[in-house]
Structure 1
Amino acid sequence: METAFIESPLGITKIVGDEKGISEISVLSEGTVSKKIPPQLKECVSQLKEYFNGQRNQFDFKLNPQGTDFQQKVWQELLNIPFGKTISYLDLSKKIGDVKAIRAVASANGRNPLWIVVPCHRVIGTDGSLTGYAGGLWRKKWLLEHESPSQQQSLF
């Protein structure tokens, strides 16, 4: 496994992966930026920078997250949430096929190892509240505002 650390508007982004794909993307409050990016991580780094610069709204590098079958199912469903849109935990549970699994869905969402790329930040409370976010609610708010359609258009 190779690791790289890059700067982002939300802190230092840690990227871990190998030839099988990216297995972890997380945000840290502090750290040292990598001087050299391993070849297996360069495409991920490039696409994340484009995302933060407002030039990308989907990712197409190879993913390799590690988790249970249920977690994988939830993470796969998260990939279906369109850029600039949100979904409630309840609606996500319905899409998984079990409305009673809302707590398990929320837990799997919180264990998402691929920050931003698997867009767990797009899941909100049924009442529209920004409930729980492993990276901190201020980061979730920033990401949702960054992806907001009103942010993508110039005013005049």
Structure 2
Amino acid sequence: MSSTTVFGQGTGDNAFDPVESLNYEQARDELIEVVRILELGQMGLDESLKYWERGEALAKRCEEHLAGAARRVEAALQGTTKTTDSDGNASNAGNTHTETTEAPENTSITSDNGTAGAKSAYNTPETAAGPKHGSAYGGGYGGAPHHDTL
């Protein structure tokens, strides 16, 4: 007679959700967890490499979300001209329908030194001295602002 005791179900290579399906907060939180796991240094080389690769993919996904958010903010502040063809595809030429979005007139904000202009997350007192909290990559991975400043 033999009895078998099974612990856990095991997920193998499918342990992680696809990076493409994660929103910014999910990707950031998982990246923080991956860094913590790697910092413990208690895994073998192969497993550490899998986590490292996952961390790189998560960081890239966070950068994509931040870049998209930055584009939307810039478009809202500066006003944009979006040109579409009859099928709704973005275009800059041809028979098109032009849709213009302009920023409200009261978007000018007085900066800390008293001059008028658009205020950016990059020139706040908090970011001038560095991020408020520590970051997994020091001062922010890839030059992206710390999430508390957005």
Question: Given the two structures, how large is their TM-score scaled by the length of structure 1?
Answer: 0.22
More strand by share: 1
Alignment TM-score, normalising by the size of structure 2: 0.23
Higher relative contact order (CA 8 A, sep 6+): 1
